[in-house]
Amino acid sequence: MAILSILKFPDPRLHKVAKPVTAVDERVRQLVADMADTMYDANGVGLAATQVDIHERIVVVDVSEERDQLQVFINPEIIAQSLEKKEWEEGCLSVPEVYDIVTRPDRVRVRAMNLDGNWFELDCDELLAVCLQHEIDHLNGKVFVQHLSNLKQTRIKSKLKKQARAE
């Protein structure tokens, strides 16, 4: 079990666009295992490789109550989304102790590879849809606070800088 270090906003590395995974090999499977350990240890529901300073298109998610249904998405992409939008209160392991309302499509269809390197598609709604959109944003170099007003972003940056100085 390896717990990886999670980058904290406004670290500029969180804004790097992740590159596609070219082969699902043992290195990628180990990274997925380490990311899952890190996500569970931090009590998160999702983690993108970008958040642990690995700029490859890999996401792990577990939105189950029991925290025993890990889902892995390699090279995920949203291929369809509903016109209906929904507001959710989001948080992020890279933006500790900050939660705010973000409006996103209510449903999405995601295409990705699994740990065997096989492509699959999945229709998602509710928390899974929100989580995947949030994590795919990370892979594209975007943090959820960028969906908020400039004023809120400035306040969040100030709060996190103050927290970092106190640590």
The 10s digit of each residue's pLDDT in 102-141 is 999 999 999 999 999 999 999 999 999 999 999 999 999 9
The tally of CA atoms less than 13 A away on the side-chain side of residue 165 is: 6
Residue 132 CA, distance from chain mean position:
7
CATH of domain 12-164: 3.90.45.10
Please say whether the beta carbons of 46 and 61 come within 8 A: yes
- With a cut of 80, say whether residue 1 has pLDDT above it: no
- With a cut of 90, say whether residue 165 has pLDDT above it: no
- With a cut of 80, say whether residue 83 has pLDDT above it: yes
99 compared with 161, residue with greater pLDDT: 99
Residue of 65, 77, 84, 135 marked active site: 135
Q: What end-to-end distance do the CA atoms of the chain give, in Å?
A: 26
55 annotated as ligand-binding: no
Active site residue 135: yes
Q: What is the pLDDT of residue 3?
A: 97
